[in-house]
Amino acid sequence: MQTGESPGLFAEGAGLTGRRRVQTLWFGFFRLAALINGLALCTILYFMLSRGWRAITWDFLTLPPREAMTAGGIFPCIIGTLGLALGSLLVALPIGVASAIYLNEYASSGRVMRVIRLGISNLAGVPSVVFGLFGLAFFCILLGMGVSLAAGALTLGVMTLPVIIGATEEALKAVPNTYREASLGLGATQWQTIWRVVLPSALPGILTGAILGLSRAAGETAPIMFTAAVFFTPKIPASIMDEVMALPYHIYVLATAGTNIEQTRPLQYGTALVLIALVLGMNLVAIIYRSRLRRRMR
């Protein structure tokens, strides 16, 4: 009879094997979920490319729509979408970062802060059409902006604000407290510590929130159909108080409210393809800049 190994070691080995099996099972589930998401994305891109690439021409990208939007291009829609997306980012990013700094660096924990954070979380889940109605009532009517680029950008900025606040606050929490303690120990004030130490360290995470907000703003239809976008205007907006065309609303018009829906089907897919490329392009610029920042910080 061999007594070199105790029963406890056999039990420990069996437990370790069981945990490895569970780990392998969960990792397999995660890989399957990632594969499904990747296949869904590829399917959507193939669907759009196969039906929309024929519509992508130089005239399509540089001319306004004409002949009841059955011909011509989408240049005013591209300019309008860029103006709305970047305008919303200019509105939401400073306010969102400032709010996150206050919540994470200055505010003390308590019932009021819990209520504020709960409100921010709930705002992130509000349907976009509700923000559109808010923008129509507040910016367009109460403030007298009318249907304009400014009203649409402000509405989209309010809509993306919770996303930016949440991402920025998480980025600030990820900065080690030792950074703050070292800066304060050298005689810096709290604001100097935040401005020169905390914010540069959290900047990649803040840019992640900006990317998420920019993507959502560029693809929304409901908020801008009440506040900024119009059925047709061949002119490029000369000021922020002018109405604009936008790619998401243009797709909606071509697919539901046009006079020749079947005739404009290639234009619908082509416009959707341009919108996807535009969002991906803006995200790519931000991602490259974020990657360079991370390399500098290493």
Query: How many residues make up the chain in this entry?
Result: 298
Q: How sure is the predictor about 87, in pLDDT bands with cuts at 50, 70 and 90?
A: very high
> Is 5 within a domain?
no
Average pLDDT over residues 94-111: 89
Overall average pLDDT of the 70-98 stretch = 90
Tokens read off for 262 = 């079947």
Radius of gyration of the chain (CA): 25
Summarised one tens digit per residue, pLDDT across range 238-256 is 889 999 999 999 888 888 8
Q: Considering the chain, what percentage of its residues have pLDDT values greater than 70?
A: 92
Asked if residue 67 belongs to a domain, the reply is: yes
Among 55, 90, 42, smallest CA distance to 210 is for: 90
Per-residue pLDDT, 15: 62
Residue 66's pLDDT band, with cuts at 50, 70 and 90, is confident
Provide the domain limits for residue 176.
58-297
pLDDT at 282 over 50: yes
Task: Please determine, for residue 14, whether its predicted confidence score (pLDDT) is greater than 70.
Answer: no
Q: Does residue 254 lie within any of the structural domains?
A: yes
- Residue 284: inside a domain, yes or no? yes
Q: Establish if 28 belongs to a structural domain.
A: no
Tell me which H or E stretch contains 143. Answer: none
User: Which tens digit of pLDDT belongs to each residue from 16-54?
Assistant: 677 788 888 889 999 999 999 999 989 988 888 888 888
Span 157-171, pLDDT tens digits:
999 999 999 889 999
Distances (CA, A) of 142 to 70, 123, 226, 240: 36, 22, 14, 17
Q: Answer whether residue 97 is part of any domain.
A: yes
Q: Where are the alpha helices (DSSP H) in the chain?
A: 7-52, 58-62, 75-101, 111-124, 128-135, 149-173, 177-185, 190-193, 199-219, 222-227, 247-252, 265-297
Could you tell me if residue 26 is inside a domain?
A: no
Please count the structural domains in the chain.
1
Token pair in block for residue 86: 């970047």
- The answer to whether residue 62 is domain-embedded is yes
**CATH value at residue 203:** 1.10.3720.10
